[in-house]
Structure 1
């Protein structure tokens, strides 16, 4: 069986073919942030609806954030984080 080079053998290969290193880092950071939001919401036993109410945004906004279907404004992210008792921190990227 021959490898189809147009498709790639896995997501990382495809990602590296389609995206620049900067775009990959940005995507990885976005995924890490959303996973942390989901983890914190679940740990606190909050539904998307309840988190939305606490943050002053609608449940569909929370759902789109969590699924990556939107790129939320910073103020929306901060509202949601504050409702979860979290904040953002600016730290150096791990170069490894």
Structure 2
């Protein structure tokens, strides 16, 4: 998995903890199963872009792209 994807997943985990959501709560808010969220967070699955946007929306976040 690319480093950028790993970093994004780590940020998603941090934000989920910051807002006090469990994996199950996040999954429900996104229309996913808890096992899908767990696989993404453990980096065993790379989220598709539509799934990523659902997760970010449920956390109240947006995707910010930085060009270097």
TM-score for both structures, normalised by structure 2 = 0.92
Unaligned 5+ residue runs, structure 1?
Answer: 1-25
Structure with higher Rg: it is 1
Higher relative CO (CA 8 A, sep ≥ 6), structure 1 or 2? 2
- Matched with 1:23 is none
- Matched with 1:36 is 11
Matched residues, number: 68
- The separation in 2 between residues aligned to 1:63 and 1:29, in whole angstroms, is 19
- Matched with 1:56 is 31
CA offsets 1:37-61 (integer angstroms, 9 cap, x no match): 0000000110000000011111011
Unaligned 5+ residue runs, structure 2?
Answer: none
Q: Offset of 1:90 from its aligned partner?
A: 2.2
TM-score for both structures, normalised by structure 1 = 0.67
SS at match of 1:75: helix
Please, what is the CA RMSD of the aligned residues? 1.1
Structure in which a larger fraction of residues adopt helix: 2
- The separation in 2 between residues aligned to 1:91 and 1:43, in whole angstroms, is 23
